[in-house]
């Protein structure tokens, strides 16, 4: 155990740090984007193969329309910041899955899924933009990569994913599943409070850049909180929604509004 702890300290100190867009927060990065994006793409296909895609053409088109607008906003922002290389290897996909879960997620590399169960709560395109902005923010902020790097360091798996797979494939696979939220736990990763707040912050800005009104985020989270009163919601089981979160969003709205132009 001490050796694992010592290795984690050494890796944390010696590894090159990445930084989150907009917030500038430094984060541990032991896993290459190419490796984690490739693994995520494989798992995404497994999800699609074992799920039932929605046959509702209008709702499916809405999910793809909103997703692609936010995608374009993200790509424009990164290009303007001369950081387009951070999105290399992204192969965006937006799919609507027929499932009562009130949930949505975005894997590394831009692999997005929305469950039909959350659409009554989003109510319209703007509400959906709140959700997709938040989930896409998790991906472009490399939160899964950060989680996996932290777990690899803690497990003593080293700093190269391919090498770790060769040394201990079972442990590495478990780390990946926990970090990306796939398999039986797809989309249910419990990000840290720091990462959740960061996704809220970035999500507001990305949806604003895409021409969606960020003020709608407050009413969306209020609806989610009200729905939670009647029972457990998958989306809220991993995305805490409370007065503090809503207050934080309200505090961040003036910044987000600067990027907003109605379409």
Q: SS3 for 53?
A: strand
The yes-or-no answer on residue 135 being catalytic is yes
What would the DSSP string read from start to end of 178-225? HHHT-GGGTT-----HHHHHHHHHHHHHHHHHTT--TTHHHHHHHHHH
From the candidates 43, 135, 196, 252, give the one annotated as an active-site residue. Answer: 135
Residues 77 and 209: beta-carbon distance below 8 Å: yes
The confidence score (pLDDT) of residue 239 equals 54
pLDDT at 157: 54
> Taking the model in full, what pTM does it have?
0.83
Kindly calculate the radius of gyration of the chain based on its CA atoms and give it in whole angstroms.
18
pLDDT of residue 18: 78
Q: Give the three-state DSSP class for 90.
A: coil
Structural contact between residues 103 and 112, judged by C-beta atoms closer than 8 angstroms: no
15-35 residues labelled b (16+ CB within 10 A) or e (exposed): eeebebbbeeeebbbbbebeb
Residues whose CB falls within 8 Å of the CB of residue 171, separated by 6 or more in sequence, listed in order: 155, 157, 164
Q: How far apart are CA 245 and CA 35, in angstroms?
A: 33
Looking at residue 186, its pLDDT comes to: 41
Residues of the chain with pLDDT under 70: 1-16, 152-190, 230-241
Q: What is residue 3's predicted lDDT score, i.e. its pLDDT? A: 41
- Give the pLDDT of residue 165: 47
pLDDT for the residue 212: 98
């Amino acid at each position: 155990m001490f050796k694992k702890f010592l290795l984690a300290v050494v890796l944390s100190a010696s590894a090159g740090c990445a930084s989150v867009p907009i917030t500038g927060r430094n984060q541990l990065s032991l896993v290459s984007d190419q490796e984690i994006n490739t693994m995520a793409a494989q798992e995404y296909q497994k999800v699609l193969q074992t799920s039932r895609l929605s046959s509702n053409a209008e709702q499916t088109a809405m999910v793809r329309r909103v997703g692609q607008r936010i995608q374009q906003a993200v790509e424009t922002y990164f290009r303007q910041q001369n950081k387009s290389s951070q999105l290399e290897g992204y192969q965006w996909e937006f799919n609507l899955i027929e499932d009562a879960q009130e949930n949505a997620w975005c894997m590394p590399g831009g692999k997005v899924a929305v469950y039909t169960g959350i659409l009554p709560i989003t109510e319209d395109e703007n509400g959906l933009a709140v959700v997709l902005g938040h989930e896409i923010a998790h991906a472009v902020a490399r939160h899964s990569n950060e989680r996996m790097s932290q777990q690899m360091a803690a497990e003593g798996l080293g700093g190269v994913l391919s090498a770790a797979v060769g040394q201990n494939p079972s442990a590495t696979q478990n780390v990946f599943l926990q970090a990306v939220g796939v398999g039986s736990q797809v989309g249910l990763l419990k990000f840290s409070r720091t990462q959740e707040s960061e996704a809220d912050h970035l999500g507001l800005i990305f949806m604003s850049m895409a021409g969606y009104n960020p003020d709608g985020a407050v009413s969306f989270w209020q609806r989610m909180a009200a729905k939670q009163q009647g029972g457990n919601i998958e989306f809220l089981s991993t995305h805490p929604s409370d007065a503090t979160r809503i207050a934080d969003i309200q505090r961040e709205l003036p910044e987000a509004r600067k990027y907003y132009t109605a379409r």
